Structure 1
Amino acid sequence: MTREFTGWHMLGLMLAMFGTIITVNLWFAYNAVATFPGVEDRNAYVASQKFEIERQAQDALGWDVTSRLEDGILSVTIKDAAGQPVQPQVDRAIFGRPTHVNDDQTPAFVWNGTAFTAPVVAGKGNYNLRLELIADDGTHFRRRFPLRAE
């Protein structure tokens, strides 16, 4: 005996489908908000007023800064305009995923004579190194370096 497909069956099917879609969307929205790292600056206008002055001071240093991630070793090389290694003070360094702060690490950089190196835990994928250095003249140097671990 065959059962008849009624309007109640169609209503149940539609409620199940749309209920699933709405539930998944709410779950994604919750996770997007719950893992958002937050604001960079409390007052963006004040930060924008200092940005150009700070950028010019950083550019005046003439540094060529590169970062590399190979086999769990993060290295940062800093050279002056003459190509000589520079050893500024590392004020702050954060290594982590670009999308969330759950796996952020603070690398313990060691100067090896030509570069700063630090072991980090990195699975495959994209990472950011947010680096803040202080030059000998007191100039703050800030950069974000996108990195990829294979």
Structure 2
Amino acid sequence: MSTATTHTMSGRKVFAMFAAGFSIIIGVNIAMAVNAVRTFPGLEVDNSYVASQDFDDRRAAQEALGWTIEASYDGTALRIDMTDMAGNALTPADLAVRVGRPTMEAQDLDGRAAVGHAMPVHLEPGRWRIDVSATAPDGTPVEKRILLWVRA
């Protein structure tokens, strides 16, 4: 004699499967949304309309200087090089450097650097954003954002 067992699908089992599936989906969505908001502030300026009012004038003044700003990383230190139109090295008195990831502020580092000199810093592999700001001798503010890729 053989006994055949049959499994019937009850309404409670179907409801439990749907509830478990949707709970997983909703849980993952909530976790992703929380991490997205926590790691990216989303603001570059407090009021974009006000910042845009003199953007073109500031950009034209900065471009008229003809400065070239470059960043390099050798594995132990970050180096900022600035040159004028003729290729002469520049040394602004108030150079400020902010190093961080493009998408989060958790690893941002602020510092002062001397142009042409190494700024000791350890950067993990990946993409980094270097924000350089200085003031020209004539009072023109100079700002440059440099994206730097650090290889493993």
Q: TM-score, normalised by structure 2?
A: 0.88
Is the contact made by 2:91 and 2:114 (CA closer than 8 Å) also made in structure 1? no
Question: Which amino acid counterpart does residue 110 of structure 2 have in structure 1?
Answer: T
Matched, 1:34 2:35: no
The offset of 1:66, in angstroms, is 1.0
Equivalent residue number for residue 61 of structure 2: 57
Equivalent residue number for residue 45 of structure 1: 49
User: Aligned match of 2:103 in 99, 102, 106?
Assistant: 99
Q: How many residues align?
A: 147
Matched, 1:25 2:29: yes
Which structure has the larger Rg over C-alpha atoms?
2
Q: Summarize deviations over 1:100-142 as a string: whole Å, max 9, x none.
A: 101111234234xxx1421112111111001111111111101
Is the contact made by 1:129 and 1:146 (CA closer than 8 Å) also made in structure 2? yes
RMSD: 1.6
Q: Which runs of 5+ in 1 are unaligned?
A: none
Aligned partner of residue 123 in structure 2, secondary structure = coil
CA gap of 1:55–1:116, structure 2 versus 1, over 3 A, is: farther
2:95 and 2:80 map into 1 onto residues whose CA distance is: 14
Matched, 1:149 2:146: no
The offset of 1:27, in angstroms, is 1.2
The offset of 1:41, in angstroms, is 2.3
Over the matched positions of the two proteins, sequence identity in percent amounts to 34
Question: Which amino acid counterpart does residue 124 of structure 1 have in structure 2?
Answer: P
Q: Summarize deviations over 1:67-118 as a string: whole Å, max 9, x none.
A: 112213111111111111011133432101111101111234234xxx1421
Question: Which amino acid counterpart does residue 57 of structure 1 have in structure 2?
Answer: A
Q: TM-score, normalised by structure 1?
A: 0.89
Matched, 1:10 2:14: yes
More displaced stretch, 118-127 vs 88-97:
88-97
Aligned partner of residue 110 in structure 2, secondary structure = coil
Equivalent residue number for residue 71 of structure 2: 67
